Amino acid sequence: MIDDDTDDIDGRDAAEISEGNNSVNADKTYDVRKVSDVISADSLATEHTVFLYPIGSGVAIAKYKFEYEWSSDGASFTVVGKQYLSRPSGLANCHFSLMVESVGNWIAASEDNARQDDAWHSFPYVYNINSNASEELIRVRALYWEGNSRMDLSNYFVASYSRQSPSITSPVRDGDVLPNLEVSGTATSGAWVAVYEGHTARQLSDWVESGFAWRTRLREPLTPGLKVLTARQQHRGVLSGWADNISVTVLPKPSISSPIPGSVIEHRRPEISGTGIPTAEVQLHVSHSAAEIPHPVCIVDSQRHWRTTPHNDLPLGEFEFTARQTSAGMHSDWADDVSVVIELPVPVITGPVANSVQDRTFTVSGNNGRSGAIVQVFSDTHDDMLGQTNTLTGANWSCSVTAPVGNTSLAALQRVDGTPSNRSTPRAFRVRPPKLTAVTVTTPTDTSVKFEGSGYTGATVQITVDSGPNVTAPAPAPVNGDRWSTTATNWPFGSYSLTAIQRFPDGDNGWIDSLPYTFPVNLSLPDPTDIIYTPVYRPVFSGKGFNGATVMLFNPGGQLKVAPDARVSSGQWQSTALEVWGPTFKREVHIKQYLNGVPSPEWIKLEVTIPPLAPVMDAPVENGLSPNLSGTCWPGAV
């Protein structure tokens, strides 16, 4: 509603009053505001105030407020009286009246004796006429009188008819919109409405019929950026003015600049970035799906950039995603789809040092792992897993592996939910055979020493003499079926310190040696063995010994011999006691053998028991009933 209620107005708009004939010659006075000087069809009634001035005065003495409106087709015109105001005029009586000039009849617009107290007074009425859909001249009159004195003041207002401009109610002014937006608003019922681009008057939509409300889509999507929209309506062949301009920002689809389409990504939560409209919120989505990709709230900055990182791991393999931006509740179109391949990062082996010598079982370590993954280590050229980690909690990892002996290259991969990464760059190691843990030494003959034991098949056992008599070491022994043996000959008696290693070919005319195993060997004249005796009164002693040695048999203490010395020949010896022993019970004989004056290490103790022989009985001598019995036996026997 427009209210031009003011006490002062430019004198050029004042009525010129002639005192001589008390008549008034008044120019038509127009509301000077651009919106209200042409009243559109179907508008709400518009309130106006007409000012009445005494001739020669710049101050209005009277004012009158009224409203008017046109019917939608302009065939009807309605004036609604509202209020009047009069300052004291110096004349006793006052009366306001109003005329629509096309009719020509004055109608009362106040009481017969209107009050002159410089206050507004209500005098409501409605005056409706048939009209010409063009314009109506509204004339307002205030008549003052007292006796023969009169002052007749009047002024005019022109209400022109024009079709109402349509209104745009959606989108809202300064809002964000999509390129293919829908525009709606209000208009005259039965009119046809079209949307235009402001400032260029380029028609953007087809004409659509309005039933007071109207709605239409644009012929083609708007280009991104700031746009100005307006509209016009056409009713019964009359074209309206322009609707108020509505400025909107057309949301472009956001762009995704990283990662690049087709790229291979080793991070399951990669940083994703692009450009968009400042202050808009960007949301990532799985392409061709309504599924959102959860991530922190992502707002486009003032430089039009945005970046975010998913909360959760993206699935491994090919993955396609997109994004859209939202501003003031409006969603943009989808960004161009970005298809990438998401792979687990390849773990890196960092230790031990490449080409270093390692035991069969050792620890491999590295980095570039991913939480939740399991790193597995393989021989580079085989699929046999040699070791694996527990579930990782960070990038660093380590695990124990048992690798084959020789020059071996190891590679690692990591798995998540069974899906493997690519294998790492292999790292070479020289894996040595295991250290020997025991060597069995025997002397199968008087001139040979046999060495044997268990080993790593494919290796060769090599024995070296570290100390002892100057001898030739036994030949290297290949390990077959996990066993090996070798023999040395003509080693003199003595104490030796030996070292045995296993050697494995490195494939480059070299060897990879195990850790050394050191063991002593004491070669001495062996004790005589398998000693027996005959259980007769003069026993015969025999047994086995070292060829060329002399076996000596002594009473306990080693001073008195019980039998002659016996030379060992063909490994055997024998000697008869020096005297008849007779029956014997647990008599000890101490035995050693000597070679070149060197005795065997231990006294061999032989316990001899010879039972008495049966007595010899002579022929009985008769002596009545008590014959005489006699015979011979060992002296002292009973």
- CA 168/CA 607 separation, integer angstroms: 133
Q: Per-residue pLDDT tens for 407-441?
A: 999 999 999 888 898 899 999 999 999 999 999 99
Helices (H) and strands (E) in the chain, counts: 0, 57
CATH architecture of 11-162: Sandwich (2.60)
Q: Per-residue pLDDT tens for 531-584?
A: 999 999 999 999 999 999 999 999 998 889 999 999 999 999 999 999 999 999
CATH number of the domain located at residue range(s) 255-342 in this protein: 2.60.40.1220
Structure tokens at 394: 């960070």
CATH number of the domain located at residue range(s) 440-523 in this protein: 2.60.40.10
CATH number of the domain located at residue range(s) 167-250 in this protein: 2.60.40.10
Instruction: State the average pLDDT for the chain.
Output: 87
- pTM to 2 decimals? 0.51
Whole-number CA gyration radius for the chain: 65
Cα torsion angle, 376, 380, 385, 386, sign: negative
CATH number of the domain located at residue range(s) 529-610 in this protein: 2.60.40.10
Residue among 31, 82, 84, 26 at smallest CA distance from 54: 26
pLDDT for 101 equals 86
CB atoms near residue 328 (< 10 Å) = 14
Domain 348-431 has CATH 3.40.50.300: no
pLDDT for 250 equals 87
Q: Per-residue pLDDT tens for 211-236?
A: 889 999 999 989 888 999 999 998 77
pLDDT for 29 equals 29
- CA 403/CA 427 separation, integer angstroms: 13
Are 419 and 344 in contact by the 8 Å Cβ rule? The answer is yes
> Rounded to an integer, what is the distance from CA 592 to the centroid of its chain?
84
pLDDT for 14 equals 27
Query: Which bin fits 596, alpha (ψ -120 to 50), beta or left (φ > 0)?
Result: left
Structure tokens at 455: 């080993």
The phi, psi pair for 297, rounded to 5°, reads: -55, 130
Which residues fall within 8 angstroms of residue 509, CB to CB, at 6 or more apart?
A: none
Residue among 400, 407, 351 at smallest CA distance from 377: 400
Residue spans in the chain of domains classed CATH 2.60.40.1220: 255-342
Residue spans in the chain of domains classed CATH 2.60.40.10: 167-250, 348-431, 440-523, 529-610
Judge whether residue 40 has pLDDT over 60.
no
Query: Which bin fits 447, alpha (ψ -120 to 50), beta or left (φ > 0)?
Result: alpha
Structure tokens at 347: 């773990």
- For residues 537-562, b (16+ Cβ closer than 10 Å) or e, as one string? bebebbbbbbeebbbbbbeeeeeeeb
Q: Per-residue pLDDT tens for 130-185?
A: 877 677 889 999 999 999 999 999 998 888 766 678 999 999 998 888 888 899 99
